Homo-oligomer: A and B are copies of this chain.
């Protein structure tokens, strides 16, 4: 887990970037950005929770009273104030921004701030120039520190161990959601805060829907089942997909599996610092297109993973983002044949000086149960 010092050091680095970009303050609301700089996590909600980080001067939290103790415990920021429940939020927000002398300043708000909450800022400081925190934090958050990579490895291991513990339960007549329940339990009981996203257990024809979720369908012999699962640990996400054969599968299914596996391997081999992300996508796509399944690979090859389950960089066509050591993203080619079946194989990799290293070690060859 990160120490208070790390969060504080990030704030110091952020201030340099704020200077360069003439941003007067970050106004953080609950988000990965807030956690990244303060150490305090809570899901976005309707209550106003705000941390102001001015270019010069001390950061400050403004929170509803029920969060006061929690913010003091979890964040390194000493100045924690409580909204007055009788005065309106907009009036207090205006007063706060006025005190910081940024009513007409350049203020960065989270990219994922809800519109309804942004309206409060607009009402409080209509003359301010609003930009996104990604302009300041985007690059920093993309390049993970060794500490962050260790967190992500542990999160990846939780998901991997849960898969290994669940595969033996895959048999004819198991239901998708029962397997999802088991997977999530295994991650949770080993210390995960929960799932990083809605677990996917997609059997038979459901496998052709990339984001199927899980339902009450029963597994049948001769089918594929796709498991896509992630743990959240110390707020970092993991993301791993394996497609498993239940009983004896058809030659076509085997051919598709091996195509996806080869695409996965080619993409992993293509990763190295300095190349554009589209080249990694292309490496996977070429294998699938050459095998005649191009029209069934209906999504990008990967997405960044970190405090958010989807974050930059994106590994997709026409994306020129240059890869750098410390970036972490998924490699997840797939083939989806509507009404028949789907295959996807996924690991998160970290870019190294020489190439990349998957955070998980679970074999990606055909798994038969």
Residues of B within 8 A of A113 (CB): 114-115
| Contacting pair B188 A193 (CB below 8 A) | no
A318 at the interface (CB under 8 A from B): yes
Complex: A110 Cα to B336 Cα, angstroms: 31
What residues of B have a CB within 8 angstroms of the CB of A195 in the complex?
194
Please state the number of chain copies in the assembly: 2
Please tell me if the beta carbons of A180 and B188 are within 8 angstroms of each other in the complex.
yes
Partner of A42, one of B180, B211, B216: B211
**Bitwise interface map of A from 177 to 195 toward B, beta carbon under 8 Å scored 1, else 0:** 1101110110011010111
- Measured between beta carbons, the chain B residues less than 8 angstroms from A58 are none
Q: Does A96 contact B (CB under 8 A)?
A: no
Which of A66-74, A144-152, A321-329 binds B? A66-74
Chain A 98-110 near chain B by CB (<8 Å), digits 1 or 0? 0000000000011
Residues of B with C-beta under 8 A to A64? 299
Chain B residues lying within 8 Å of A216, measured Cβ to Cβ, are: 191
Given A114-B114, A115-B110, A116-B132: A73 in contact with B209 (beta carbons within 8 A): yes
Contacts A65-B299, A194-B195: A111 and B114 contacting too (C-beta < 8 A)?
A: yes
Among B86, B116, B209, point to the contact of A318 (Cβ < 8 A): B86
State whether B118 touches A111 (Cβ < 8 A). no
**Is there contact, CB below 8 Å, between B115 and A211?**
no
Given contacts A181-B185, A184-B185, A194-B195, 18 further A-B contacts (CB under 8 A): A46-B310, A65-B298, A66-B210, A68-B298, A69-B208, A69-B336, A70-B210, A85-B318, A111-B115, A111-B116, A112-B116, A113-B115, A115-B115, A118-B118, A181-B188, A181-B189, A184-B194, A194-B198
Instruction: List 20 A-B residue pairs with CB atoms under 8 Å apart, sorted by A's residue number.
Output: A43-B197, A46-B310, A65-B299, A66-B298, A69-B208, A69-B209, A70-B209, A111-B114, A112-B114, A112-B116, A115-B118, A116-B132, A116-B134, A177-B191, A180-B188, A181-B188, A182-B189, A184-B185, A184-B194, A194-B198
